[in-house]
Amino acid sequence: MARDFANVNAEVERFCLVNDIFFMDQAYVQALKAYKFDEVPIGAVLVDAQGKVVARAYNQMEHQQSQLAHAELQVLAKYLKKNKNWRLSGTTLYVTIQPCLMCLGALYLSRVSRVVYGCGSLKFGATASEMKAFSGIYKNLKTSMHYLNYEKSKKLLRLFFKQKRSPGL
């Protein structure tokens, strides 16, 4: 009996989407922590090839007074401190917003295999052409980017910036 590959592919895609939502929910919990501390609410979770969360972090730029304290870089630093290995082949990073150019560069150089982001960022997110430039420069490094339309991230960011722009609300 011949297999129906269209159905198999649909099942695989559904499984991946369910996993992506599960881990994005965990990144969102990190974003809520950032929000609680009056940081831009961005969270990130790093997952290994076996589906185990190996690091979690949230944006801490105000707390650390450092432009390097983005959630993505915090995750990389936590993983490195615990595992003493900067090569992250086979991992997936879930982050609640599209990574900026600085973070994208760090993710490429760290060899993160896959990045799933919850919402786009027209102002700060790395563009497709910038991503293409990285893949042109680092031909042997492969980081795939995946957009997951995660409404909770968008709503939390809108709420945060609305409150910042309208004091007293």
CATH number, domain with residue 123:
3.40.140.10
State yes or no: is 130 an active-site residue: no
Q: CA-based angle 67:150:112, to the nearest 5?
A: 55
* Catalytic site residue from 39, 72, 130, 151: 72
Domain annotation covers residue 35: no
CA dihedral 115, 50, 69, 162 (to 10 degrees): 60
Residue 17, domain member (yes or no): no
Would 47 be classed as within a structural domain? yes
Does residue 76 have a pLDDT over 50? yes
Cα 138 off chain centre by? 20
pTM greater than 0.95: no
Lowest average pLDDT, out of 71-80, 109-118, 127-136, goes to 127-136
Q: Give the domain range for residue 49.
A: 41-165
Do 63 and 69 touch, CB atoms closer than 8 A?
Answer: yes
- Tens of pLDDT along 29-67? 999 999 999 999 999 999 999 999 999 999 999 999 999
Question: What confidence category does residue 118 fall into, taking pLDDT thresholds of 50, 70 and 90?
Answer: very high
For residue 82, being part of any structural domain is answered with yes
Q: What is the pLDDT of residue 26?
A: 97
Domain count across the chain: 1
